[in-house]
Amino acid sequence: MNQDFLHFSIRFSVLDSCLLNKINIGFGPEEDDALTTGAGVPVGDKLNVMTVGPRGPLLVQDVVFTDEMAHFDRERIPERVVHAKGAGAFGYFEVTHDITRYCKAKVFEHIGKRTPIAIRFSTVAGESGSADTVRDPRGFAMKFYTEDGNWDLVGNNTPIFFIRDAMLFPSFIHSQKRNPQTHLKDADMVWDFWSLRPESLHQVSFLFSDRGIPDGHRHMNGYGSHTFKLVNADGKSVYCKFHAKTDQGIKNLTVEEAGRLASEDPDYALRDLYNAIANANYPSWSFYIQVMTFEQAEKYPFNPFDVTKIWSHKDYPLIPVGKLVLNRNPVNYFAEVEQIAFAPSNMPPGIEPSPDKMLQGRLFSYADTHRHRLGPNFLQIPVNCPYRARIANYQRDGFMCISDNQGGAPNYYPNSFTGPEDQPNLKESRVLLSGDVQRFNSANEDNVSQVRDFYTKVLSEEERERLCENIAGHLKDAQLFIQKKAVKNFTDVHPDYGARIQAHLDRYNAKGGNKDCIRTYTQASHVAAKERSNL
């Protein structure tokens, strides 16, 4: 691993590239073990408050106490609105195959090149204290510290997603979180949204399959999910998808195992990852791309930028690129994992976004939420600092600016004096676009064909049965009219799919259903009558 990065991470001795080289945060001489306040003032007694007499009141002048309590009162920062529970580690990416014919990014410059990386794994809907073994997609976010700035590939353990239009993202997440009145997870909310948006069928089917509960973070794949664009040194572009295949092998937990671990060891996945690295059993993933030319994209039978669908591996086979290896645990969880911030908008020259609507929405949203959660200068936090690149721009000031603020250099551009210049040779590739400006409805862009293939061709008979049982076991807690809408969608995929789920639901409902469930939402009578006629 890059020793500069290791020193940087462990000591928080920030590098010149971050313009923080004059600051050594939180550390005095290593041989000095004297306890101090946050201001560095030595503390004579850390065990007893200052009072008037042994039983008297506290004194305002007890700055040791007020310093300690004031900091304690402000320890917590807002948790991530999604992906709050997570684990992270550090390592390197090594190029094993040449793809420079597709991409000029320095991270892929030559075979054997190593780039420092950070990866954060997470669940999606749960809070920071939730169990690692719930049925939920897993975040698989990768940060590559390249010489041309940080590249963040912010993916999941699934190659697809629930929705294809970014406008729906806040509502989708709200439906997966807690009911605003009861503050309980609510099957009505979850399945009502999914049943009204049938483009979710592919991801829902993956989620309730055996892969919906990975056996820790080491035994799952990672995917960039979106379609990206690669640009080579000659300015020629192709579309691509990124894949990270676990070298430890796919392993999943049964529903029973996951339930037991949720109560006995809710931090199971975090513990498994940390212990493996601590014992020098370094996890790794083989890194691949799929490539599609612009001409192929024009002729493809569906929208190649639709994140609810995959690209056929038969038509677009995996091309090996390199290896991701994690070989260092965080020295401090808060500093290096809680504060790490990934943004899909961080793309060095050679990697660009595609017209994928979900990706386009994320380009804004992720950096924006980091500014809310961590502050406008979150990129000055050591773990987020693009320390292998030189930061030179005209951005200044802001809350918690801890650099030298680029000194007295001009803070406007253009100017007649000095400062960084833009690099015309590094402009984004040219794109020819045309079309009407409108809000286009993409709800019914073939939501079933690939799900049908997944159900009939990918899953075995035993896996199909477990899938249907898992879906029914969750869907049974939703109201009957929502169950009917969901079953209709599954039936549209394949009659057997819907019939099996309905059979399981019939058994649950014959027993009286979930009588303990309090409903906070009821359907208007005219809406209910209309939906009954449709069903």
Per-residue confidence at 523, pLDDT binned at 50, 70, 90?
Answer: confident
* Selection from 27-41, 304-318, 501-515 with the highest mean pLDDT: 304-318
Residue 261 in domain: yes
For residues 163 and 358, what is the distance between their CA atoms, to the nearest angstrom?
A: 8
pLDDT given for residue 440 in this prediction: 81
393 is catalytic: no
Same-domain pairing of 277 and 355:
yes
Per-residue confidence at 434, pLDDT binned at 50, 70, 90?
Answer: confident
What is the separation, in whole angstroms, between the first and last Cα of the chain? 59
- CB-based burial, 6-15: b 16+ in 10 Å, e otherwise: eebbeebbbb
pLDDT given for residue 9 in this prediction: 42
Same-domain pairing of 136 and 276:
yes
With beta carbons less than 8 A apart as the criterion, state whether 382 and 143 touch.
Answer: no
Residue of 71, 150, 156, 411 marked catalytic: 156
360-394 residue pLDDT tens: 999 999 999 999 999 999 999 999 999 999 888 88
pLDDT at 159 over 60: yes
Same-domain pairing of 254 and 119:
yes
Residue 16 in domain: no
Question: Quick one: tokens of 351?
Answer: 């990697």
Looking at 389, 417, 438, which one is the last position of a domain? 389
Same-domain pairing of 227 and 298:
yes
Please state, as a whole number, how many other Cβ atoms lie within 10 Å of the Cβ of residue 268. 21
Looking at 389, 408, 438, which one is the last position of a domain? 389
58-67 residue pLDDT tens: 999 999 999 9
Per-residue confidence at 16, pLDDT binned at 50, 70, 90?
Answer: very low
Same-domain pairing of 372 and 460:
no
Residue scoring higher pLDDT (522 or 334): 334
Same-domain pairing of 126 and 240:
yes
Same-domain pairing of 460 and 377:
no
Same-domain pairing of 349 and 488:
no
Residue 121 in domain: yes
Residue 525 in domain: no
Same-domain pairing of 93 and 218:
yes
191-239 residue pLDDT tens: 999 999 999 999 999 999 999 999 999 999 999 999 999 999 999 999 9
pLDDT at 299 over 50: yes
- Rounded to the nearest 5 percent, the helix, strand and coil shares of the chain are 35, 15, 50
Same-domain pairing of 219 and 328:
yes
346 is catalytic: no
pLDDT at 20 over 70: no
Residue of 7, 21, 48, 83 marked catalytic: 83
Residue 270 in domain: yes
Q: Report the CATH number that the domain containing residue 118 is assigned in CATH.
A: 2.40.180.10
pLDDT given for residue 29 in this prediction: 54
pLDDT given for residue 25 in this prediction: 47
Question: Quick one: tokens of 465?
Answer: 């049965």
Residue 62 in domain: no
Looking at 347, 364, 389, which one is the last position of a domain? 389
Domain count, the chain: 2
Which DSSP string do the residues of 92-139 spell out, in sequence order?
EEEE-S--TTT---GGGSSTT-EEEEEEEEEESSS-TTS-TTSSS-EE
Instruction: Report how far Cα 455 is from the mean position of its chain's Cα atoms.
Output: 26
For residues 10 and 336, what is the distance between their CA atoms, to the nearest angstrom?
A: 10
Same-domain pairing of 507 and 372:
no
Residue 311 in domain: yes
Per-residue confidence at 7, pLDDT binned at 50, 70, 90?
Answer: very low
Residue scoring higher pLDDT (521 or 174): 174
pLDDT given for residue 512 in this prediction: 78
pLDDT given for residue 22 in this prediction: 35
Full-model pTM? 0.90
Q: Among 2-16, 187-201, 299-313, where is mean pLDDT lowest?
A: 2-16
Q: Name the average pLDDT for the chain.
A: 91
Domain of residue 465, residue span: 449-511
Same-domain pairing of 456 and 377:
no
Residue 302 in domain: yes
For residues 132 and 268, what is the distance between their CA atoms, to the nearest angstrom?
A: 6
pLDDT at 113 over 70: yes
pLDDT at 89 over 90: yes
Q: Is 413 labelled as part of a ligand binding site?
A: no
